[in-house]
Amino acid sequence: MAGFNVMDMLNKTSKEGIEEKPKARFRTKDIDIYNIYANEDNISDQNGIDEKAAEIKLLGLLQPLEVMYEPNKNGEEYKLIGGERRWRALKKLVEEEDLQEFREATCQIRKPRSKNEEIIELCISNSYRKATPEKELERIKLLTDALKDAKAAGEKIMGYDLESGRLRDIAAKILGKKPTQIANAMSINNNLIPELRKLLEKQGISFSVAVEIAGLEEDEQEEIYSWYPDKIITVKKIREYKQRILEEQREAELKESRQEAEADETEEEEETEIEGQMNLERDFPEYCPEQNELEKQALEAFAERIQRDINRQNIKNSLELKKYMGERYKGAGGTLRGSNGFDGWYDCGKGYIKLCKDNFEEIVKKTVIKMADAIGDMIQFDTKAAEEQKTERVEIPQTNKVEVPGSESDERRHRLKLAKMFFDAVDTGKKSFELRKNDRNYQIGDVLELHEMNDGEETGRITEKQVIYILEGFKGLEEGYCILGLEEMRE
C-alpha cells in the first residue's frame, strides 16, 4: 500500500485522543502553549488576564486546558475548547517574565464529532463565566443555532436527546438557566431591532425592558426608540404603551365591525326596495310604535335572549338570574333580534345594559339589577324545560378552531387546546382574541389555559390569558359562538 505509514497513523491517533463515551477519568497530555491556538467561536470576554497570571504563578495551573486536535495553516496543532483565559495568562508569564516552566501546560484532549458538538462543548466550558447581557445573548444564539443544526442533521449529541423536548429546554440545562430565560433571549435575538440592540449593548435599556419590547411590531419598536434619550425607557412604560395599543385596536375593530354590519343591513334593504313600494313609517305613521312601545319591544327581545341563557344555565329563580346577569353581562355586546320584529343591539359596560335600535339610538338603559326586574315578568323559570333544551342542543361544526373534548375546567379557569399555527400570535399578544363555542358560559375575568397542539399531540407549551370582553349574537357569528377579547394575566 503506497503512501501508507504506520508511524504517521499512530502519531495522529495519539494526538487526536481516543474516541470514547464520557467518563469520570480523561486522557491528558502536556502540550507546548505555542502549539495551541484560540477558538474563533469563543465569544467570552478575556478580562482579568493579569489576575489569572498572578494566581497561576503562585499556585500553578489548577485546571487543565481543554483542546482538540485540529492543525491550522500556521502549523499550530491544537485548538482551544476551554481555558482561553488560562492559556493567555501562561503566555504572559513566559513572554513578559521569561518563566519557561510555564511553557508546557497539561491539556485534556477532546474529540468532538462535528462542528456543532465542538460549539456545544465550547458553550458548556464557558457556561460558568459571568458575561454582559449582550455577550450572554451571543452565547445563547451560538448554542441554540448549533442545537438546531445538529437536530436538522440528525446528529447525536452525547447526553442530550434532541428529538424529545424543546431545544430551549436543552439549552437551559447546558447553560444552567431557566427555559424562560432562554426563550426571552431567543425573542430578543430574533425580534429586537438593531437600534434597540445597540442601546441594550451600551446599557441604555435593561434586559427586562428589551424582553418587553421584543414582542412588539417593528414600527412600534421604532416609536419606542424615538423616546431615547429624552425619556427613560422602563418596563412600566412599555406595558402602558402595549395596553394603549391594545385598547386602540379593540376600539377600531369594534367600530369596523359595527360599520360593516350597518353597511350590510343597508345594502340588504336597498336590494329589496321596489320602486313605488310603500314606506310604513312615511305612509302610515299611526302604525309606527311610539317610544314606550319601542322600549317594550326592546325589553321583550332582550328577555328572549335571557330566556335562552336561563334554559342553558338551569337558572331557577330571579335571585339566581340577577347574580348570573351581574357576572355574565359585564362587558358583552351584540345584535338583538326579537320574534316581535325588534332589530337592534345590546351593549353592556360600567354596570349598565343598553338596548339600542339598529342605528344605535338608545332605547333603554338600566342597571343590571333593574334590567333583571324589568324583564322579570317576561321570562319563565322552568328547570325541566332547561334540561330538555340541553339535551336537544346541536353541535355546530367549525373549521378554524380546535375542539377540546374532555378537557378540564372550573368556574373561573378553562383548559383549552390551541393549534400550533396560532400559539405564538396568542402568546405574544399579537392575536388578542379567540373564536370559541360558548358551551362553557365564559365570563369576563375567566382565565384561559391554552395548550399548544401539533399533529394531535400537546407540545408542552402553555400560555394563560384573561377574558376582558365577550362578543356574541353578532351578525355573521353562528348561533352559540362568541369572540373572546384577551389580555395578559392580571397580577
The 10s digit of each residue's pLDDT in 174-195 is 888 888 888 888 888 889 999 9
User: What's this model's pTM, rounded to 2 decimal places?
Assistant: 0.41
Which residue, among 337, 336, 354, has the nearest Cα to 345 in the 3D structure?
336
pLDDT tens per residue across span 408-428 = 344 578 889 998 888 889 988
Per-residue pLDDT of 330-357, as tens digits, reads 766 777 778 888 888 888 877 788 888 7
Percent of the chain with pLDDT strictly greater than 70: 80
- 238-252, 384-398, 413-427 — which one is most confidently predicted on average? 413-427
- Listed by start position, the domains of the chain span 6-111, 129-237, 289-391, 413-488
Is the pLDDT at 68 greater than 80? The verdict is: yes
Q: pLDDT band at residue 266, thresholds of 50, 70 and 90?
A: low
Select 129-237's CATH number: 1.10.1220, 1.10.10, 3.90.930, 1.10.3470.
1.10.10
- The fold of the 6-111 domain, in CATH, is 3.90.1530
Q: Where is pLDDT greater, at 47 or 384? A: 47
User: Other CB atoms closer than 10 Å to residue 444's CB: what's the count?
Assistant: 19
- Report the alpha-carbon distance of residue 159 to residue 23 in Å, rounded: 12
Residue 385 has pLDDT above 90, yes or no: no
In the prediction, which pLDDT does 12 show? 52
What is the CATH architecture assignment of 413-488?
A: Roll (2.30)
Radius of gyration of the chain (CA): 34
Proportion of the chain above pLDDT 90, given as a percent: 15
Query: Above 90 in pLDDT, residue 361?
Result: no
pLDDT in tens, 126-152: 776 677 777 788 888 888 888 888 888
Winning range, highest mean pLDDT, from 77-86, 369-378, 395-404: 77-86
Residue 6 buriedness (CB in 10 A; 0-12 / 13-18 / 19+): exposed
pLDDT of 100 over the 90 cut = yes
